[in-house]
Structure 1
């Protein structure tokens, strides 16, 4: 009997949520049904999703940044199909892989010239785990310093560097010798590094949770301080890298040279899990310093041919379609246009970001009626106002977005890098109408707000 994924998909299409309720995380199903995100998507092309009624949705999450080139890009599909039919030797293990060598070469062309070696893994959190190990071994120091409100992954080592308590709660004890400093605070960082027992400072150039931007001198001073105290400077570009911020690497905005760059998400076009660490030769040669240490760190599937082929094809698409440049141009336009609305909307504080990493932040208004409505939501659950933005954006305007982090009044956009002028207008017009609706406290959007507050208060009990 033949086996067909297409037949399985069509046969069980309506069972998606039931299967997850029975066999997977049923709380996720409850969340989706509660906020009205329980759609049955049937197709995805580029920046668009299509449900079973063929409604088109603009995806501004892109799988948390994975689909930087859009979903199901034909160039990457072709590369993967070709790789499957070539009958290549794969994961021989007692060998080295040609495709991983080629991908390493292409990635390092984009990186600062002090980075000359690559290590491949399967995900962003694995890249962070590798950085922790490599830094400790290279420096012979125990401590790792990270930033408050930072996010570096959810495996145990990465979680130990996670600046959000909601992810850490109940999973301890975590790794020892890990400590946090405020983001964008050079005095606190120097105080931490001055003990000269810090192996690495691991930092997102732009923080993903909230899209927090550094001051212009922050990362250059981070580089200087790390060199001064013998600490490795590790840039976590898992979300910010590969064109996301309008430069290939976010560090390029500040012309700094870290000792390691961590990457994943966009690297394979969303088809095959892949992550990596670009590093100096000194780090690589220190960790893998003898033949008997050639396998002291690795991952079984890390350099598999499918992942490497997907990475090569994705880099080709980003270059050929000028997606980094498009990210910078369209992102700047969206940020500027939404900021221009702040004069007419009390709730709107600002839009900020770089390239296609955008935050839209909301604030307590001045007028009494609006202020009371805001206070009602904040009392029920901090950051609840943003659900009044994201839910109507989805239900009424078919835009998929997210709240930027727990307890934040920030909506985050992390779209594919290939947005068009049509998409730009779709985004701006939808935000304009939705924010306008929030200023009418007798309108239907505040009925939604009261329902959200009621649910939040019940959950607290």
Structure 2
């Protein structure tokens, strides 16, 4: 009997959180309910989501940068439909898939000089895992270096490059030789590379956690040190790539930067089919696949599927045809100017970091005594709490999905689709202004919500403390 997906969706609607809680991840459901994210979504189109009440939301979360082209883009959908309608086989195993060859060719065209060979996988973390193995094979070295506050994925190799201890807790020990250095500290990087055991230095040109933008001077200096000490420079463009920063790669903002490996994923999927790519030099690739016996020594069962490759090809076509990288620059400038205009009016608002449509809005301690007391109270309860004072009313009152930029950061990150309208930008700016007006009234409803969230956080901390003690 044919399966009826619509019937399944309709049957579980309204019960999905209970089912997910029972069979998947009850702790995550608790988080969603606490933050008010337990919405029932019924439709997605472009930059928008709709809930069961018919309310339209602006999606500036985009599943952490997957939906650069919005949801249900007709060109990408059309490409996938063509694959479904064809008899052409995929996953033959012993084959050279033509769509994979075509996507590799298109990616190489967009790379810095010298990067001419592509390995395909299913996700960003798999792309990073491949990069680690490739660097080890090419250099014969065992170790890696990464930046503080880095995020490269959650499988064991990628997790070893994670700059946030809370992600690593319970999974140690990490890969031996994994070392952390500070963004901007070239002396510290040189001291680590000079030991001679680092296969690859892995970095995000724009860090996803906090949207910290590496300077041109640092990136070029790091490249020089990598060349000096025989370490491969690996640029993680999983979130910052695919036009997000206003260039195809964020590293392409720096003239003369030529990494040895680039990793892509997220938006390369078009929001449909998972796909990852590790792009490198032929000499690096050949060090892995060095004999016929080792022709598939690193491989993935579900890599290079026709649907994934078609999604990647269609995504690149949309990016080019709609001139979305340039649009990201134009709209990003509109965001930045609008947010900067609010800074003199609101004590909590400290500034904005922006490149293309990768944007961080930073908050900090106010000057006035009453607001300073409120800031201290909230951060004493939980240092992750203040940013929720922005995220929650943006969602509840203005129907905009945003995200906190990282652990213990009073920073909101927005990752809009690259094809949003100017009116969408203005929608967000007007909403942010309204949220800030209300937040600067203490006492007030916003602070009551934060106190309630804070009490939940304190209770959770006590439970964790008791569990650790036993």
Query: Which TM-score band applies after superposition, normalised by the shorter structure?
Result: over 0.9
Counterpart Cα distance in 1 of 2:332 and 2:320: 18
Query: How far does residue 168 in structure 1 lie from its aligned partner after superposition?
Result: 0.1
Counterpart Cα distance in 2 of 1:32 and 1:142: 40
TM-score, normalised on structure 2?
0.97
The Cα offsets for residues 186-213 of structure 1, whole Å up to 9 and x where unpaired, read as: 1111111111221110000011101111
Partner of 1:381: 382
Three-state SS of the structure 2 residue aligned to 1:54 is coil
Three-state SS of the structure 2 residue aligned to 1:68 is coil
Partner of 1:277: 278
Partner of 1:363: 364
Query: How far does residue 298 in structure 1 lie from its aligned partner after superposition?
Result: 0.7
Counterpart Cα distance in 1 of 2:412 and 2:2: 46
Partner of 1:183: 183
The Cα offsets for residues 278-313 of structure 1, whole Å up to 9 and x where unpaired, read as: 101110112111111101101011111000011101
Counterpart Cα distance in 2 of 1:136 and 1:304: 27
Counterpart Cα distance in 1 of 2:452 and 2:442: 14
Counterpart Cα distance in 1 of 2:344 and 2:276: 43
Counterpart Cα distance in 1 of 2:85 and 2:458: 56
Counterpart Cα distance in 2 of 1:419 and 1:322: 13
Partner of 1:56: 56
Partner of 1:20: 20
Counterpart Cα distance in 1 of 2:11 and 2:368: 54
Partner of 1:398: 399
Counterpart Cα distance in 2 of 1:371 and 1:16: 41
Instruction: Tell me whether 373-382 or 170-179 shows the greater mean CA deviation.
Output: 170-179
Query: How far does residue 2 in structure 1 lie from its aligned partner after superposition?
Result: 3.0
Instruction: Tell me whether 69-78 or 97-106 shows the greater mean CA deviation.
Output: 69-78
Structure 2 matches for 1:92-171, cutoff 5 A? 92-171=92-171
The Cα offsets for residues 49-85 of structure 1, whole Å up to 9 and x where unpaired, read as: 0011111000001011011100111111111111011
Query: How far does residue 343 in structure 1 lie from its aligned partner after superposition?
Result: 0.6
Q: Does 1:237 align with 2:237?
A: yes
Query: How far does residue 87 in structure 1 lie from its aligned partner after superposition?
Result: 1.2
> Conserved in 2, the CA contact under 8 Å of 1:336 and 1:351?
no
> Conserved in 1, the CA contact under 8 Å of 2:223 and 2:259?
yes
Query: How far does residue 216 in structure 1 lie from its aligned partner after superposition?
Result: 2.9
Three-state SS of the structure 2 residue aligned to 1:425 is helix
The Cα offsets for residues 390-448 of structure 1, whole Å up to 9 and x where unpaired, read as: 00000000000011111110001011111111101001001111011111012211111
Query: How far does residue 267 in structure 1 lie from its aligned partner after superposition?
Result: 0.2
> Conserved in 1, the CA contact under 8 Å of 2:34 and 2:453?
no
Partner of 2:71: 71
Counterpart Cα distance in 2 of 1:14 and 1:455: 25
> Conserved in 1, the CA contact under 8 Å of 2:47 and 2:71?
yes
Query: How far does residue 383 in structure 1 lie from its aligned partner after superposition?
Result: 3.0
TM-score, normalised on structure 1?
0.99
Structure 2: stretches of 5+ with no match in the other structure: 463-470
Counterpart Cα distance in 1 of 2:42 and 2:143: 48
The Cα offsets for residues 302-351 of structure 1, whole Å up to 9 and x where unpaired, read as: 11100001110111111111111111110121012101211111100111
Counterpart Cα distance in 1 of 2:23 and 2:384: 31
Counterpart Cα distance in 2 of 1:184 and 1:224: 14
Instruction: Tell me whether 424-433 or 449-458 shows the greater mean CA deviation.
Output: 449-458
Please report the RMSD computed on the Cα atoms of aligned residues, expressed in angstroms: 0.9
Counterpart Cα distance in 2 of 1:37 and 1:126: 29
The Cα offsets for residues 209-246 of structure 1, whole Å up to 9 and x where unpaired, read as: 01111223011111111111111000000111011111
> Conserved in 1, the CA contact under 8 Å of 2:79 and 2:310?
yes
Three-state SS of the structure 1 residue aligned to 2:201 is strand
Partner of 1:318: 319
Partner of 1:410: 411
> Conserved in 2, the CA contact under 8 Å of 1:380 and 1:457?
yes
Structure 2 matches for 1:259-298, cutoff 5 A? 259-298=260-299
Q: Does 1:339 align with 2:340?
A: yes
Query: How far does residue 11 in structure 1 lie from its aligned partner after superposition?
Result: 2.2
Three-state SS of the structure 2 residue aligned to 1:391 is helix
Counterpart Cα distance in 1 of 2:104 and 2:5: 33
Counterpart Cα distance in 2 of 1:74 and 1:166: 40
Three-state SS of the structure 2 residue aligned to 1:343 is helix
Three-state SS of the structure 2 residue aligned to 1:384 is coil
Query: How far does residue 12 in structure 1 lie from its aligned partner after superposition?
Result: 2.0
Instruction: Tell me whether 399-408 or 4-13 shows the greater mean CA deviation.
Output: 4-13
Counterpart Cα distance in 2 of 1:279 and 1:87: 33
Q: Does 1:435 align with 2:448?
A: no
Counterpart Cα distance in 2 of 1:214 and 1:405: 17
